[in-house]
Structures are given as structure tokens and as C-alpha cells.
């Protein structure tokens, strides 16, 4: 096989060797993350408590292990804390300029995103990705564009409107109604999110996501699915995958063929590879989506990431030792509790003691030898109970130790901050706000990761809608009339990204709060400056221009002051232009001349349009007259033919009657 390290483009690799190249890359990627995937399996089993159930033995043998599933408890706390609700898309003009087309396009894209979020269960995909983020440490979700097509019958005309005979297309079909062609039309399209299981994902080498050149998704396909997708090549794919979930009882019913869908960003192609068939690629697709970043996924969310590796690190590893210690303490607690039983011995001369502990309340048992027990010091001297005070003390210490270990785990995970951040109804609003802010500090990084992931998913969806959806589909989803200018902006990737920004309500919340604060400070600054300067201007102490310069200097200190300064300058320029036009007769005359020329040009264009419309009507009338003439000629020819046929038929009938009469006369 060729030395692919020296090949600049994978396009130069023959198709017959593409499969071998990608199988080698997939094997290498699998080996790099092999240890992490094994850790992920063990962590998921621990979360589902499957590893203990598999190794569980009978209690009576003393081998039953009691545990405290802190991983499940932590995950159930963390998941709703970092992903609490479905994100709401916020699409707006990037710079807030006067851009009607940009504003309308942003509104259409926002409505379209809200529709696809509600219609295709975006929330469940985000929950699965977040759970993978918390357990094995990496969550992946892909975006898929699904158009649906149907055949449409297109009639083939044999004559042109002028009556000229036309050539029949080669792909034309014929039936009782005449010639026709079948064309595929797109009648429905959708963009959906699809969860990618963490074991079904591979990636190319790289220390940062920008360095990754390829990604791959594993598909487990039935024989029918393989034939439908790849035709005859599917017969060469081995059905050698068996899931551990079903065991060996189902025979070949649950076997699947493994196929990898490789997205190569270098050559912008999608290569379908089966490891069991290394002779050639099953199929090669040229850049199916045309996305700016090529990959159909945003950057995966990773629980613990560093700058030197993209191999995930599960958060459970950070407190695994403490979790095992917690299991050990819980096991000991249960063993001690199992040994703390009410046990003792009694004087056999009073056999009624054996019945005493089995009777109900207020029961009196007659005793034949009770007097002997009384003579020996009383009934209490005839019973000796096993002491359990030391057991109780040890048990109390174990409970305290378990709480301390749990507190350490909560500190490591940041759950302790959430607990400290909880407030009471009796506290003031400021105290509650401070506690809420403190309680979310440790969660903020995780929350931002999930929010960014959701926003990037919505950006991919918006890009697919803008690039691939038809105006009719967009209008049906949004209920807004889509103009050609809006479609032009959506189809232009560069202009769309320059003029429109796509966020979610959670990602823009800090920015909105900062804008409100800045606007409030600005208005207060303007009001105080005007109040302080106005008396000096009215008294003539301070000229108007100087006062304006002072206010402008104050505005520049504020975050939003530049926008106000530009608005004031623009208003002043417009006012000056209006004053000049009113004062200068020459300018007024020039403006009137320009206006008159514009009116004349508009009138000329209207007359030209009317003339074209009249010519069009004449042409249509001539075509209709020609068609009527042709139809009349055809009708006359048809009538003449029918007349000749009728005369011929009548003559034949007369000759037949004469022949019959002649035959009858001969028979007489």
C-alpha cells in the first residue's frame, strides 16, 4: 500500500485503497481512546448499578455487597442544574443597524428554529448529550438534513404554440393520455438532531478541535438497510456484530453489519467504509451539506478538557477513591446492622421464656416454675441479653464518617456550593441574590459548555435551513412571506454571518443585562449633564456649541455613548441640509428639476411597460387565432373524413341489401 503520509491530498489515493486507508485510521483512533471507552463502560455500569447486580451473591453466604450509588445521585443533581430548560433561539441583526432585509431575515430564521425545536424533540437530544457529558465525559449530537421527494408527471407537448411539431424527449413515456416525463420534486424537508452514542464516534488526531481533520460515525445496519444504501456492494459486508444486550439466544436475528461514515474535512467528502470489506469504499459522497465547517456536529462537550489532548476525562475519576470508600463504609454499616439483633439466653427451668417474645401486647403467660426464678434473684436474673452498646457506638461513628466522605465528594463536584447557595423564603431579596450567585459559581463553566453546545447546534440548523430549504418550505414553517432579497441574504453565507447573529436566550442573557445597565447609566448621565448646563446656557454664560461639546465629552465615557453621539451628529447634518435647501433657491430649483426628471422617467417607464403589455396581448391574440384556425382546419378535415366514411358505409349497406335480394330471387 502507498505511503499516505507523503500524499498531500487524499483525492490521490485510488478508490480501491481508500477503504484500507480509512480502516487503518479508524483502528488507530480506536486504540488511542481504548482506555477511555473502557472507563466509560465501567462508569455507565456503575451508574445503572449493573456491575453489582451481575456479581451479586446470596445474602446468606456473606458475600452480598451493599453500596451507596453516589454517582447516580450526583448525576441526577447535576443534569437539571446545567441543563434545566429547552433553549429559546434569539436571531437578530449583528450590529443593530437600519437593515430592513436583515431584520426580516432574522425574524424568519428565528421562527424556523423555534418550529424545528418544537417539532423534532430537540430537548431529548440535549438531555442525552448532557448525560454523556456527565458520565463518560463526552457528548456528541449531529444535525441531519432530511429531504423527501416524490415523482411528478409532466405532460409532453407535441406542438409549439405556433403549431410547429416538437421533438419527443428521449426519457418520455407514453400511455393512453399521451407522452409524459416523470420528474422528482422535493415536497417536504426537515432538519433534525440525532444523538451519537459515545462508543459510535471516532475522530482524527489533534490537540484542539480546530486541528481535527476527520470524524466518523458507526452504523449497525441490517442486511436490508445495507442493500438499500449500497446496492450490490452490500453483499460483501459481513454481518459479524452481535450486541451483548441480547446474548446468543437470537442466532442471526440480531446480527448487524458495521459501517463507518467518515467525514473528511480535508477533501470535503463523505466516505462509507465497512471494516469487513477492505477492497473499496462502499460509497463516496461529495460534501452533502456544504456547511462552512463541513462537519455535521458542533464541537463535542467534554467534562474535563486540557490543551494537550482531546481524550475525555470522566468527572467520576475525580472522586472515584472517595466513592469506593463510601461503598466500603456503607457495606460495613449494613454488616453491623445485620449483627445487631435482640439475642440472649434464659434459665431452662422456666420454659415459658421461650414463648414470651412471641406473644402480642398485654399477653399474660402462666408459669409453673416461676417461683424458682424468683428465689434466685428475680425474673431479670434468669435472662442474659447480648450487649450491643459497642455496636451502636461503632455504627454512629460510621454514619459520621460516611457523611464526611459525602461532603468531600460534594466539594469536589461543586454540589456543596449549590447547597450553600440555597436560600430561605424569610431572607431578603439581596441575600437570596448573593446566595444564588455564589451557588452557581462552580456550575457556571458546565452551564456555559452546555449553552454553547446548544447554540452551535442551532447555528448548524439555521445554516442548513438558509442554504437548502426552499422558500415555500420556509414560508410554511414561519408564516412569513419570503422575498427574493431575503432568500439572497440567506443563501449568501458570508453576508448572512456578517449581518445576522444566532444565539440562545441563555447565551445572550449576560449581554442583555449589561446593555440594560449601560443604557440606564447613559440616560442618567445625559439627564444630569443637561440639568447642570441648561441654566448657564439660558443665562448666556455658556455658548450652545460649548455646551454641546461638554455633553459629547461626557457621553464618550459611557459604553453606549458612541451610538448616541452618532445619532446626534446624523440628526444635526440632516437639519443643516434641510436649512440649506430652504435658504438656497438654486438648490430648490435643482431639486425640483431632479424631481421632474424622475417623474418623467417614471412616466416613460410606465408607458414602455404598457406598450410591452399591449404587444404581449397582441401576440397572445395572434397565437389564439392561429390555434383556432388550426383547430377549425382539423375539425373540417375530421368532418370530411367522417362524411366519406358515412357515405362508404351507406353504399356498402345498399350493396349488401341488393345482394341479399338477388340471392332470394335465385332461390325461388
Q: Are 526 and 565 in contact (CB under 8 A)?
A: no
Which residues are paired to 270 by β-bridges?
Answer: 263, 285
233-287 residue pLDDT tens: 888 888 887 766 555 555 566 788 999 999 999 999 999 999 988 888 899 999 9
**Of 162 and 472, which is predicted with more confidence?**
472
pLDDT of residue 627: 77
- Tell me the pLDDT band of 626, cut-offs 50, 70 and 90: confident
Q: Are 136 and 43 in contact (CB under 8 A)?
A: yes
Count of other CB atoms within 10 angstroms of residue 303: 22
**121-124: long-range contacts (C-beta < 8 A, 24 or more apart)?**
122/86, 122/193, 122/457, 123/86
Query: Alpha-carbon distance 184 to 147, whole Å?
Result: 12
Count of other CB atoms within 10 angstroms of residue 464: 21
Residue 19 has pLDDT above 90, yes or no: no
pLDDT of residue 519: 63
pLDDT of residue 572: 60
Query: Alpha-carbon distance 589 to 629, whole Å?
Result: 59
All cell numbers assigned to 31? 486504540
**Of 649 and 21, which is predicted with more confidence?**
21
**Of 545 and 268, which is predicted with more confidence?**
268
pLDDT of residue 88: 86
Residue 291 has pLDDT above 50, yes or no: yes
Residue with cell 477492497: 279
Residue 32 has pLDDT above 90, yes or no: yes
Q: Are 276 and 237 in contact (CB under 8 A)?
A: yes
User: Percent of the chain scored above 90 by pLDDT?
Assistant: 25
Q: Are 405 and 325 in contact (CB under 8 A)?
A: yes
State the chain's mean pLDDT as an integer.
79
CA neighbours closer than 13 Å in the CB half-sphere of residue 584: 11
Least confident window among 344-348, 381-385, 424-428, 598-602? 424-428
pLDDT of residue 294: 94
- Tell me the pLDDT band of 423, cut-offs 50, 70 and 90: very low
H or E stretch at 184: strand 178-196
Residue with cell 390555434: 627
pLDDT of residue 31: 94
Q: Is the dihedral of CA 629, 633, 638, 644 positive or negative?
A: positive
182-215 residue pLDDT tens: 777 788 889 999 999 999 999 999 999 999 999 9
Tell me the Ramachandran region of residue 552: left when phi exceeds 0, alpha when psi lies from -120 to 50, beta otherwise: alpha
CA dihedral 9, 15, 19, 25 (to 10 degrees): 0
Residues in contact with 365: Cβ distance below 8 Å, sequence separation at least 6, in sequence order:
352, 355, 356, 359
Q: Is the dihedral of CA 659, 661, 664, 668 positive or negative?
A: negative
Residue with cell 473499496: 280
Residues in contact with 515: Cβ distance below 8 Å, sequence separation at least 6, in sequence order:
560
Residue with cell 502507498: 2
pLDDT of residue 6: 39
pTM score, whole prediction: 0.69
Query: Alpha-carbon distance 665 to 668, whole Å?
Result: 5
Query: Alpha-carbon distance 1 to 23, whole Å?
Result: 13
Which residues are paired to 219 by β-bridges?
Answer: 259
| CA-angle at 374, arms to 371 and 379, nearest 5° | 115
Length of the chain: 668
Query: Alpha-carbon distance 139 to 198, whole Å?
Result: 7
Assign 272 to helix, strand or coil: strand
Q: Are 395 and 334 in contact (CB under 8 A)?
A: no
User: Percent of the chain scored above 70 by pLDDT?
Assistant: 75
**223 φ/ψ angles, rounded to the nearest 5 degrees:** -65, -40
Which residues are paired to 180 by β-bridges?
Answer: 155, 173
Longest Cα pair distance anywhere in the chain, in angstroms?
159
Least confident window among 33-42, 66-75, 102-111, 413-422? 413-422
Residue 53 has pLDDT above 80, yes or no: no
Which is it for strands 89-93 and 173-175: parallel, antiparallel or unpaired?
Answer: unpaired
Query: Alpha-carbon distance 346 to 375, whole Å?
Result: 15
Residue 606 has pLDDT above 60, yes or no: yes
**Of 563 and 7, which is predicted with more confidence?**
563
Nearest to 155 by CA among 184, 187, 186, 178: 178
- DSSP E strands, 118-172: 138-155
Least confident window among 483-487, 502-506, 544-548? 502-506
Q: Are 304 and 136 in contact (CB under 8 A)?
A: no
CA distances in angstroms from 325 to 52, 69, 70, 399, 406, listed in the order given: 16, 12, 11, 13, 10
Which residues are paired to 192 by β-bridges?
Answer: 144
- Tell me the pLDDT band of 5, cut-offs 50, 70 and 90: very low
Domain boundaries, given as residue ranges, for the chain: 588-668
**Of 304 and 496, which is predicted with more confidence?**
304
**Of 667 and 397, which is predicted with more confidence?**
397
Query: Alpha-carbon distance 303 to 582, whole Å?
Result: 68
Residues in contact with 418: Cβ distance below 8 Å, sequence separation at least 6, in sequence order:
77, 81, 439, 440, 442, 443
- Tell me the pLDDT band of 421, cut-offs 50, 70 and 90: very low
Task: Report the Cα–Cα distance between both ends of the chain, in Å, rounded.
Answer: 105
Residues in contact with 446: Cβ distance below 8 Å, sequence separation at least 6, in sequence order:
78, 81, 82, 303
- Tell me the pLDDT band of 36, cut-offs 50, 70 and 90: very high
Residue 437 has pLDDT above 70, yes or no: no
Amino acid at each position: 500500500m502507498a505511503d499516505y503520509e507523503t500524499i498531500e491530498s487524499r483525492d490521490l489515493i485510488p478508490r480501491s485503497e481508500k477503504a484500507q486507508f480509512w480502516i487503518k485510521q479508524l483502528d488507530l483512533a480506536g486504540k488511542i481512546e481504548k482506555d477511555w471507552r473502557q472507563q466509560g463502560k465501567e462508569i455507565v455500569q456503575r451508574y445503572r448499578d449493573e456491575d453489582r447486580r451481575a456479581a451479586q451473591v446470596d445474602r446468606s453466604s456473606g458475600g452480598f455487597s451493599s453500596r451507596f450509588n453516589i454517582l447516580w445521585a450526583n448525576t441526577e443533581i447535576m443534569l437539571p442544574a446545567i441543563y434545566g430548560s429547552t433553549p429559546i433561539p434569539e436571531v437578530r441583526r449583528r450590529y443593530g443597524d437600519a437593515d430592513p432585509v436583515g431584520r426580516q431575515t432574522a425574524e424568519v430564521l428565528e421562527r424556523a428554529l423555534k418550529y424545528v425545536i418544537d417539532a423534532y424533540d430537540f430537548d431529548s437530544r440535549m438531555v442525552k448529550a448532557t448525560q454523556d457529558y456527565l458520565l463518560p465525559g463526552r457528548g456528541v449530537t449531529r444535525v441531519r438534513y432530511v429531504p423527501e421527494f416524490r415523482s411528478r408527471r409532466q405532460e409532453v407537448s407535441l406542438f409549439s404554440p405556433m403549431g410547429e411539431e416538437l421533438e419527443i424527449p428521449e426519457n418520455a413515456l407514453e400511455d393512453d393520455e399521451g407522452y409524459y416525463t416523470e420528474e422528482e420534486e422535493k415536497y417536504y424537508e426537515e432538519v433534525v438532531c440525532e444523538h451519537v452514542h459515545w462508543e459510535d464516534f471516532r475522530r482524527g488526531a489533534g490537540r484542539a478541535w480546530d486541528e481535527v481533520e476527520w470524524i466518523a460515525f458507526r452504523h449497525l445496519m441490517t442486511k436490508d438497510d445495507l442493500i438499500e444504501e449500497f446496492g450490490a456492494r452490500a453483499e460483501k459486508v459481513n454481518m459479524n456484530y452481535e450486541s451483548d444486550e441480547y446474548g446468543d439466544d437470537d442466532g442471526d436475528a440480531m446480527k448487524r453489519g458495521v459501517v463507518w461514515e467518515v467525514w473528511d474535512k480535508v477533501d470535503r467528502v463523505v466516505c462509507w467504509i465497512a471494516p469487513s470489506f477492505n477492497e473499496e469504499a462502499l460509497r463516496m459522497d461529495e460534501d452533502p451539506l456544504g456547511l462552512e465547517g463541513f462537519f455535521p456536529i458542533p464541537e463535542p462537550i467534554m467534562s474535563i478538557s486540557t490543551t494537550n489532548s482531546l481524550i475525555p476525562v470522566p468527572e467520576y475519576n475525580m472522586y472515584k477513591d472517595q466513592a469506593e470508600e463510601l461503598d466500603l463504609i456503607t457495606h460495613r454499616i449494613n454488616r453491623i446492622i445485620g449483627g445487631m439483633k435482640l439475642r440472649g439466653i434464659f434459665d431452662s427451668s422456666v420454659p415459658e421464656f421461650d414463648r414470651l417474645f412471641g406473644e402480642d401486647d398485654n399477653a399474660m403467660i402462666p408459669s409453673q416454675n416461676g417461683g424458682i426464678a424468683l428465689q434466685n434473684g428475680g425474673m431479670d436474673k434468669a435472662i442474659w441479653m447480648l450487649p450491643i452498646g459497642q455496636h451502636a457506638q461503632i455504627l454512629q461513628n460510621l454514619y459520621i464518617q460516611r457523611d464526611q466522605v459525602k461532603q468531600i465528594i460534594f466539594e469536589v463536584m461543586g454540589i456543596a456550593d449549590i447547597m450553600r447557595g440555597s436560600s430561605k423564603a424569610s431572607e431578603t431579596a439581596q441575600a437570596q441574590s448573593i446566595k444564588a450567585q455564589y451557588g452557581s459559581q462552580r456550575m457556571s463553566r458546565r452551564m456555559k459548555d452546555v449553552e454553547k453546545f446548544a447554540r452551535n447546534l442551532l447555528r448548524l440548523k439555521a445554516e442548513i435551513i438558509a442554504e437548502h430549504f426552499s422558500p415555500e418550505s420556509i414560508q410554511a414553517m414561519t408564516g412569513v412571506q419570503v422575498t427574493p432579497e431575503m432568500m439572497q441574504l440567506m443563501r449568501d453565507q458570508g453576508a448572512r454571518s456578517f449581518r445576522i447573529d444566532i444565539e440562545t436566550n441563555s447565551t445572550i442573557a449576560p449581554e442583555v443585562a449589561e446593555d440594560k445597565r449601560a443604557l440606564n447609566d447613559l440616560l442618567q448621565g445625559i439627564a444630569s449633564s443637561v440639568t447642570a448646563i441648561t441654566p448657564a446656557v439660558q443665562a448666556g454664560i455658556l455658548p450652545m456649541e460649548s455646551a454641546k461639546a461638554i455633553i459629547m465629552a461626557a457621553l464618550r465615557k459611557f459604553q453606549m455613548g458612541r451610538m448616541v453621539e452618532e445619532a446626534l451628529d446624523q440628526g444635526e447634518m440632516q437639519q443643516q441640509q434641510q436649512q440649506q435647501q430652504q435658504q438656497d433657491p438654486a438648490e430648490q430649483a435643482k431639486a425640483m428639476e431632479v424631481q421632474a426628471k424622475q417623474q418623467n422617467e417614471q412616466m416613460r417607464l410606465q408607458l414602455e411597460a404598457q406598450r410591452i403589455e399591449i404587444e404581449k396581448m397582441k401576440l397572445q391574440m395572434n397565437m389564439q387565432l392561429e390555434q383556432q384556425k388550426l383547430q377549425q382546419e382539423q375539425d373540417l378535415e375530421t368532418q370530411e373524413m367522417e362524411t366519406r366514411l358515412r357515405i362508404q358505409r351507406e353504399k356498402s349497406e345498399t350493396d349488401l341489401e341488393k345482394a341479399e335480394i338477388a340471392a332470394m330471387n335465385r332461390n325461388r
